[in-house]
Amino acid sequence: MKKFKYEVKIPSLVCLAALLSCGNPDKKAEPLPPNVIVILVDDLGYNDLGCYNTKNKSIQTPNIDKLAMEGIRFTDWQSANSVCGPSRASILTGRYPPRNGFVVVSHPWEPQQYEHLGLYQDEVTIAELLKPMGYATAAIGKWHMGEHYDYRPLRHGFDQYFGEMHNFAIGKKGRIFKGDSLTKDSVHYENMHQLITDDAKKFMNKAKEENSPFFMYLSHYLVHGPWEPSKRFTTEEEWDARMENNGGIHQTVYSAMVRELDWHIGEIVSELEKLGMTNNTVIFFTSDNGPWLTDDKVHSAGSAWPLRGSKFNTFEGGHRVPGIVKYPGHIPAGQVSDELVSSMDIFPTIAHLAGAKMPENKVVDGKNIWPLLANIKNAKSPHEVLYSYQGKNLQTIRKGPWKLHLTRTPKSVPFYAGRNWGRGTIDSLNVPMLFNLEQDVEEQVDLAQEFPDVVMELLQEAKVARQELGDWNMIGKDEHDLNGFPGDIHAIPVREE
């Protein structure tokens, strides 16, 4: 294999004790609460990192692997949704998509969705949780939770925002927002990653200068398409594949994008070390959902091996994603946990670490997983049951090792949850399917007939979920309204000129 054309930067393991405080060393004060960075990457599969034993020899991720070595890596980290918008809203609010009201990916150019769908202001985000405690807050990179003024980052507790709010289109430049303002600047996808890394560094340096704890929601466009890695991260073969496919989805090109992502993660960790902030910063790293796979293995991107399914469906390949947390001196290094956790757990765990007050009169579905992170003796998953929705359709119930796939029809699912979207998507299921994930993580052996009592137990859990959060044909008692959205929430958006 040819040598890759970039230098991997891995921060040193040693920080001088005198650099560990953000404040003036002559000033006697209480230590600052921890800085918090949530690094969210786009469409990264369960098997797309070195520390998750990637089978792709073209992928090297030393910086992300080092995060795992210095903290904890989870093997059963579940995204709350298998498409980006709803999964992101669930991270920031700690609530299931039907409860926070952002159940499908919204389209800014479709008037009904633009006006009505987004992350609503009555939701409480991590930024709003921390801001009253003196935290500086920034959202950097992809937003994708509504471009309408009411749904933008500055409506949700963020002091600043920088980025293109949505995905980049193949062959087109992206628009750049700063705060609420759409600038005159535009940028190609391949150049955006450095811009958000630079903005993240500026934000951390400003927090250091102002002696302020910070929360940074750093949302990468990598490794979502267009599949256009920067040339310096590619081999000749990868560059030729990129140019030949004109930004289209392609496995050969994908490897370079993962390496490029890893380099940018290394830049952020290096900056923390330069600022002497490493030991007072907790980093959460995860993916919004599983990889974008199609039935064409060449024109796919990533791997969920050994899991079944992908982005757009509720098999494990769509929901089980990399999950890493690092907090030096607080989270013992080198841990690997098989306990069930959710991306929704980030919210209450941050609240615990910062000593923040949880929202009143709102159900938070995530759980504080600090006992697992701190390796407290006999700590177990705090989740008795987890639900998976596609749009408004309840599709799976997870309880212990058991996972039940519920019946569905094409009319009950969003358009992107149809059989032509995602690898192995099932949009028509006449009888439930039951899998024991401890014995069959590949979801291959249906045990529904062998364990009817388990099926009945999980169907009762589904009944509880529907009563609380609704389903495609019913409204739950704590289901968030859609701000008067008048259309079919599951239909393909049609642009109105």
Express each pLDDT in 302-338 by its tens digit.
999 999 999 999 999 999 999 999 999 999 999 999 9
pLDDT at 16: 36
Which residue range forms the structural domain that includes residue 173?
32-373
- Residue 9 domain-assigned? no
In a shared domain, residues 278 and 312: yes
In a shared domain, residues 222 and 103: yes
Do 104 and 490 meet the contact criterion of CB atoms below 8 Å apart?
Answer: yes
In a shared domain, residues 325 and 420: no
Is the backbone peptide bond immediately before 226 cis, with ω within 30 degrees of 0?
yes
* Element (DSSP H or E) covering residue 282: strand 281-287
Numbers of helices and strands, H then E, in the chain:
12, 15
Is the backbone peptide bond immediately before 223 cis, with ω within 30 degrees of 0?
yes
From edge to edge, which strands make up the β-sheet containing 402-405? 386-390, 393-399, 402-405, 433-436
DSSP 3-state of 68 = helix
* 204-237 confidence digits (pLDDT tens): 999 999 999 999 999 999 999 999 999 999 999 9
- Residue 167 domain-assigned? yes
Give the CATH number, domain containing residue 426: 3.30.1120.10
In a shared domain, residues 61 and 111: yes
In a 13 Å sphere around the CA of 154, the CA atoms on its Cβ side amount to 12
- Distance between CA atoms of 167 and 176, rounded to whole angstroms? 12
CA distances from 388 to 3, 166, 284 (A): 42, 24, 22
In a shared domain, residues 332 and 408: no
Do 175 and 147 meet the contact criterion of CB atoms below 8 Å apart?
Answer: no
Q: Describe the crossing of helices 251-274 and 189-209 by its angle, rounded to 10 degrees.
A: 10
In a shared domain, residues 452 and 361: no
242 pLDDT band (50/70/90 cuts)?
very high
pLDDT at 108: 81
pTM for the whole thing? 0.93
* Element (DSSP H or E) covering residue 175: strand 174-178
Q: What average pLDDT does range 336-355 have in this prediction?
A: 98
pLDDT higher than 70, residue 17: no
pLDDT at 9: 43
In a shared domain, residues 58 and 169: yes
115 pLDDT band (50/70/90 cuts)?
very high
In a shared domain, residues 321 and 465: no
Do 346 and 74 meet the contact criterion of CB atoms below 8 Å apart?
Answer: no
pLDDT at 4: 45
Bridge partner list, 231: none
- Distance between CA atoms of 406 and 412, rounded to whole angstroms? 12
pLDDT at 29: 53
pLDDT higher than 50, residue 8: no
495 pLDDT band (50/70/90 cuts)?
confident
Do 451 and 399 meet the contact criterion of CB atoms below 8 Å apart?
Answer: no
Percent of residues, the chain, with pLDDT higher than 90: 90
pLDDT higher than 60, residue 375: yes
- Residue 43 domain-assigned? yes
In a shared domain, residues 392 and 317: no
In a shared domain, residues 369 and 391: no
- Residue 490 domain-assigned? no
Q: What average pLDDT does range 290-294 have in this prediction?
A: 98
- Residue 46 domain-assigned? yes
* 62-71 confidence digits (pLDDT tens): 999 999 999 9
pLDDT higher than 70, residue 3: no
Percent of residues, the chain, with pLDDT higher than 70: 93
pLDDT higher than 60, residue 260: yes
pLDDT at 38: 98
Residue ranges in 28-144 assigned as alpha helix (H)? 62-69, 84-93, 97-100, 111-116, 126-130
If you average pLDDT over every residue of the chain, what do you get? Answer: 93
- Residue 488 domain-assigned? no
161 pLDDT band (50/70/90 cuts)?
very high
Give the CATH number, domain containing residue 119: 3.40.720.10
In a shared domain, residues 76 and 182: yes
In a shared domain, residues 258 and 399: no
Q: Is 381 left (phi over 0), alpha (psi -120 to 50) or beta?
A: beta
Residue at a domain's end among 318, 341, 373? 373
- Distance between CA atoms of 277 and 298, rounded to whole angstroms? 42
* 463-484 confidence digits (pLDDT tens): 999 999 999 999 999 999 999 9
Q: What average pLDDT does range 180-190 have in this prediction?
A: 94
pLDDT at 496: 66
- Residue 17 domain-assigned? no
The total number of structural domains that make up the chain: 2
Do 159 and 244 meet the contact criterion of CB atoms below 8 Å apart?
Answer: no
Closest CA to 225 of 196, 198, 262, 253: 253
Residue type, position 205, single letter: N
pLDDT at 13: 37
pLDDT higher than 80, residue 156: yes
Q: What average pLDDT does range 130-140 have in this prediction?
A: 97
pLDDT at 2: 42
Residue at a domain's end among 343, 373, 403? 373
Q: What average pLDDT does range 275-302 have in this prediction?
A: 97
- Residue 87 domain-assigned? yes
